[in-house]
Structure 1
Amino acid sequence: MTPLRLPVISCSLDPVSSSRRLAERSASLLRASGHGSEVVDLATASLPAFDNDQVFDSDAFGALHEVVRESDGVVLAFPIYNWAPSSTVKSLIEATGATGEGRRAAWFDKVVTFVCAAGLPHSYMATGALAQSLMLDFKCVVNPYTAYIAERDWEAGTLSVDRAARLEKTMTVHAELAGLLRGRTSLSDWEV
């Protein structure tokens, strides 16, 4: 099988981000499986906040749109704040998902996987609205395996055995879904 393009986008602006560490580990797991995977870090990408105007003129927008558009699947690694995904991941999707003036959303038909870092284990369902939006707006296939990692799942800077296994399984399923759907013939656009 031809290696898949499976970028991991780190959607945290925190300089000591747990989700960034998870993004790096996710990309490493995907590369170990023979796929192309790099971490795209929004903390260094300088994507302006989504304003439906000048964001499209930024170099970061063009680069991020291409990463998503050319991928076979995307891993979104982000923190959970206040029982919801961080605003950074939403701003990324708003910018790269916008259409108009010669732009087409980059997200159509992508396999998307969530890797989440959280303070407590209680908000593991916080990705529901984001998943629903990606499925309904862009016809994304959202991996049902989410790697949800709380602070207590780290032991001296290392993931606990069960959470490490969950992250590995999540990346395995991500690659399998992307591989199975790579040759599909149906292509989506804005539709209800």
Structure 2
Amino acid sequence: MAALNLPVISCSLDPASRSRTLASMSSGLLREQGHESSVIDLAELELPAFDNDRVFDSPVFRRLHDVISAADGVVLAFPIYNWAPAATVKSLIEATGATGEDGRVAAWFDKVVTFVCAAGLPHSFMATGTLGQSLMLDFKCVINPYTAYLSERDWERPEVLRVDRAERLAKTMTVHAELSGLLAARTYRSVWEV
């Protein structure tokens, strides 16, 4: 398989975030498979809150839009708060998914998207359902059915997952790369449509 462009976007603003650790691990696994993968850390970039106006003037918005547009697939690493993905994920997708009168087109169309989640407890494992549905229906994304959902119980010690959870993260990244590679030669291109 040819090398793919598979960025990992870390969507936590918490300086001690486990999802940031998972983002780094995910990127490393993709690079081990021979793909290009860097971690884009939203905590370092300070994307303005989505206001459907001035956010589009931000150089951070332009950088993120370019990264997502150019990607063969995108890994979103984020914490689960209150039974849902962190608000930073939604703000990122709202900004980079907006299409405007100035010719701006959403960056997310036809992307393979994989979720890597850090949670306090194992009970919120279905928290990504609405986010996945939105990406599928709005942008015709293909959502990797292998979500890496990791709770506090899944860590041996800081930065070391239990063996079975490390294997799940590795499998999730393998499936992400395979789906992205298989769909790279697709013959269709999606736009806004119901």
TM bracket (short chain): over 0.9
- Partner residue, 1:166: 168
Q: Percent identity?
A: 74
Amino acid of the structure 1 residue aligned with 2:42: L
How far 1:156 moved relative to its partner?
1.5
Amino acid of the structure 1 residue aligned with 2:14: D
How far 1:24 moved relative to its partner?
0.1
- Partner residue, 2:132: 131
After TM superposition, the structure 1 = structure 2 runs for residues 172-187 of structure 1, keeping only pairs within 5 Å, are 172-187=174-189
DSSP 3-state at the match of 1:63: helix
Amino acid of the structure 1 residue aligned with 2:39: V
After TM superposition, the structure 1 = structure 2 runs for residues 20-169 of structure 1, keeping only pairs within 5 Å, are 20-100=20-100, 101-157=102-158, 158-169=160-171
TM-score (norm 2): 0.98
Amino acid of the structure 2 residue aligned with 1:113: T
The CA deviation string for residues 84-143 of structure 1, in whole angstroms up to 9 with x for no partner, is: 000000000000000012210000000000000000000000000000000000000000
Structure 1 runs (4+) greater than 6 angstroms displaced? none
The alignment covers a number of residue pairs equal to 192
The CA deviation string for residues 30-78 of structure 1, in whole angstroms up to 9 with x for no partner, is: 0000000000000001100000000000010000000000000000000
TM-score (norm 1): 0.99
Within the candidate set 166, 188, 191, 1:189 is matched to 191
Unaligned segments of structure 1, at least 5 residues: none
Alpha-carbon RMSD: 0.5
Q: What CA distance in whole angstroms lies between the structure 2 residues aligned with 1:147 and 1:92? A: 20
How far 1:2 moved relative to its partner?
2.2
Q: What CA distance in whole angstroms lies between the structure 2 residues aligned with 1:149 and 1:131? A: 17
DSSP 3-state at the match of 2:63: helix
Q: What CA distance in whole angstroms lies between the structure 1 residues aligned with 2:182 and 2:94? A: 27
DSSP 3-state at the match of 2:114: strand
DSSP 3-state at the match of 1:78: strand
